[in-house]
Amino acid sequence: MEESLLQTYLVTGGAGFIGSNMLHFLQRERPGVRTINLDALAYSGNLRNLDGLDGSRHRFVKGDICDRALVTELVGQCDGVLHFAAESHVDRSIQDSSPFIRTNVLGTQVILDVLLDAKRSGASKRMLYVSTDEVYGSLPLDRPDLKFTERTPIDPRSPYAASKAGGDLLCSAYAHTHGLDIVTTRCSNNLGPRQLTEKAIPLFVTNLLQGKQIPLYGDGLNVRDWLHVDDHCSAVLAVMERGRAGEVYNIGGDNERSNLELVRAILGIMGHGESMIRYVEDRLGHDRRYAIDATKMHEELGWRPTRSAWPDALESTIRWYRENEDWWRSNDHAKIGNSARSKKG
């Protein structure tokens, strides 16, 4: 899709972590692009994430992606859809998967059906579905040579991952069956500003800022590939503008760290010792290792991360939480993160 043809994006979930960072990124990098931001403002949405956006180029609409009439109206006003809206916390999905199925599967179906109606009326529009590397399942720790490629079979292990895989596969099916212009991205773990304190890095950092210990699951050897959210946004834009219809693109930072290594890095940056680690009972079905092969992004689209160098990306993230205490205290959802990590007996 030619960049010049895209004048207005509908961004779903734009008051959340990655969605709001995408809105700020677009305003910096694409002065000619306007955005319509559809967000239900559930617990993870925060209007303060939109502070600083140019209102002449951004419009916020409070609403549910399962509201077909509303989605139809907004799709009619845009040239393309960036679909970020999702329930995304694994611990919450283990406690109750219903909201995840509704938002991540049924909500995606609503958007696809609206796009299909638009195509049938002669107004074909591109959608980018933001999926996750968690749809692939888990890799063994003793095979560092193995990484997820776009050809890796989908094998989700948590209710959250299964719900994202459901939306992911629906997009593939609609692209194949109906010829919809859909591209899908599967990204590794993100770090950066505006992430709720129920997620690992914000939880660990804000706990330390409050003099609390860091709760660490199991033996701490689970491995994740970390990417700065700005690099994720640049990759999403590259796929939206230049990706091939019907294709999946892996996005990763080639930046694997065990959870224990991550915690030790945070402790070092913040000047604490390992006495601030509290080992807790492991999460049910905890995937052992994620690792992304982003060769397709590199070779086909010329994208590479520029903000994810370690430990710089971690240091800048910690600095943001230090400097924005009023933000995270007013949006403190660490209760889920802490209560889910019950102390070992």
What CA–CA distances, in Å, run from 233 to 14, 15, 89, 188, 237?
12, 15, 20, 12, 6
300 is catalytic: no
Q: Which of 136, 160, 174, 249 is catalytic?
A: 160
Query: 38: helix, coil or strand?
Result: strand
| Of the candidates 332, 228, 223, 209, the residue with the CA atom closest to the CA atom of residue 267 | 209
Tokens of 103: 């938002």
Indicate the SS3 state at residue 105: helix
- 160 in catalytic set: yes
- Cβ contacts of 291 within 8 Å, gap of 6 or more: 139, 144, 146, 147, 148, 223, 225, 252, 256
Exactly one of 134, 225, 256, 287 is catalytic; which is it? 134
DSSP E strand stretches across the chain? 8-12, 34-39, 58-62, 80-83, 126-132, 182-187, 189-191, 214-217, 223-228, 248-251, 256-258, 277-280
Residues 235, 294: Cα–Cα separation, whole Å: 10
> Residue type at 128?
L
The pairing of beta strand 223-228 with beta strand 189-191 = parallel
What is the per-residue DSSP string for 165-226?
HHHHHHHHHHHHHH---EEEEEE-EEESTT--TTSHHHHHHHHHHTTPPEEEETTS--EEEE
From 133, 168, 198, 231, the catalytic residue: 133
What's the CA gap between 90 and 190, in Å, rounded? 15
- Catalytic status, residue 96: no
In this structure, how many other beta carbons lie within 10 angstroms of the beta carbon of residue 323?
A: 10
Judge whether 46 and 331 are in contact, CB under 8 Å.
Answer: yes
Supply the residues annotated as catalytic. Answer: 133-134, 160
